[in-house]
Chain A
């Protein structure tokens, strides 16, 4: 039996006049973190949204062997997929508690103890409107929504974007902790985070898969990182130690 939790074949997304993804094909192994990398605008977020049916797409998406390509977004999510979107997308007019309550999925346990243990600040602020939280706290809430239910796969889109360095470290450690519980597909620009978390990597370039393999191999290959990510290995290493 395949150890691929997620198999994506010939994924194409056309948004208006723009053909964003071209026959994107890759797999995500069960357990651990697979990083989806690439320069700005290559289609990483569109890939995430396409997988969930939030962007119109063609191609095949299999989750644990089941073809979910024709399912609606909520039907895919109900099969055990959590989504932590870019820009958090918390519901600003709802309280922290209401945001979490909304994320409760029927047929799953709701791990409030887990999310409040990982993010004690959310417990303190549970009666506060999400729109009044700081950026870091909103990111905590977005991640908490994804961790509240029993998920098989967590799609996490640029969790470190716009966060202070100490918060990036905090989120990285939280993600490191939860990889025992859930497989993560991570879009991330910060190579320090990728180095810390990712076992596998998929690199997109102009809407096409340009490289797949072990994350460690990618991050040690000067030519590939400079060519596809725009960052040299030395710079990436320096970033990792800063």
Chain B
């Protein structure tokens, strides 16, 4: 029982991380139809900014906030300065985001080196709390709390604000939104900035959990985030939450109860199963 509780809460922590990365990705694809590989760059940016700011100020929280703001600002600049010029040309947009990811990773490596740098996280994050006798690191609860907070705030944003309404409508039928007199490009910028900010949040938290930042941290998470987005349904925010929970728990249980490393394979099999039986994803809309 103790092991099961430990695996469940650790799996939920992993799911929280996937959700933080995937929710932004999903909204960006749903609204803008861009598979944003540069998302991983914002994740890495968040991690390194938090590392720098926390190292200089001694405040990890300040590092997270600054990382999110820097990533959101850079995300907005990327959308308005680069992606907007290729509006509607999906292949060049994808190539651009891949290029940005590769260039950013190389830049980080050139400035900070290839080695992982230790992340100055507060001591309490590494302490454990016993839940039904299972020792759970506080960092897992931080991840889960952050994901729940993001889910609540984003749900309020999507359902109670005009921009949220525009985003939901834009995911369904973007041309019709413009035919109502709405400049949907502003929503693009907002969603891209939000997504970058959430990726940065995930970047600083994953660095805290792993105790270090490294140039490739974003890329590893991005693959699973894409899997979560596809399983949940492209463009579905709540679908991302559900899929993240499924993937995180499945991965953790399989790695422990079956064989270490098999969790990744099972997740890929789950992806294949969903694509074969419900190609639009768990909560996505049927495209045809």
Contact = CB atoms under 8 A, between A and B. Distances in A.
Interface residues on A, range: 20 to 34
Interface string B260-286: 000000000000000000000000010
A164 interface: no
A225 B177 CA distance: 36
B176 A74 contact: no
B181 A101 contact: no
Interface stretch (A77-85, A197-205, A212-220): A77-85
Contact of B179 (A77, A92, A93, A149): A77
Contacts of B175: 54, 73
Contacts of A78: 181
Contacts of B178: 54, 72-74, 77
Contacts of B179: 52, 54, 73-74, 77, 83, 85
A93 B173 CA distance: 11
B82 interface: no
Contacts of B285: 93
A101 B165 contact: yes
Given A54-B175, A85-B176, A91-B173, A77 B181 contact: yes
Contacts of B173: 89, 91
Nearest to A106: B181
A133 interface: no
Contacts of A74: 178-184
Nearest to B181: A77
Interface string A145-168: 100010000000000000000000
Interface in A53-107: 54, 72-74, 77-78, 83, 85, 89, 91-94, 98, 101-103, 105
B89 interface: no
A74 to B, nearest CB: 5
A103 B168 contact: no
B177 A102 contact: yes
A105 B181 contact: yes
Nearest to A101: B165
A83 B169 CA distance: 16
A73 B180 CA distance: 9
A102 B169 contact: yes
Nearest to A98: B165
Interface of B: 162, 165-166, 168-169, 172-173, 175-184, 285
5 contacts: A73-B175, A74-B182, A94-B172, A101-B165, A102-B177
Please provide the 6 A-B residue pairs with the shortest distance between their CB atoms, ordered closest to farther.
A77-B181, A73-B178, A91-B169, A83-B179, A89-B176, A105-B181
Interface of A: 52, 54, 72-74, 77-78, 83, 85, 89, 91-94, 98, 101-103, 105, 145, 149
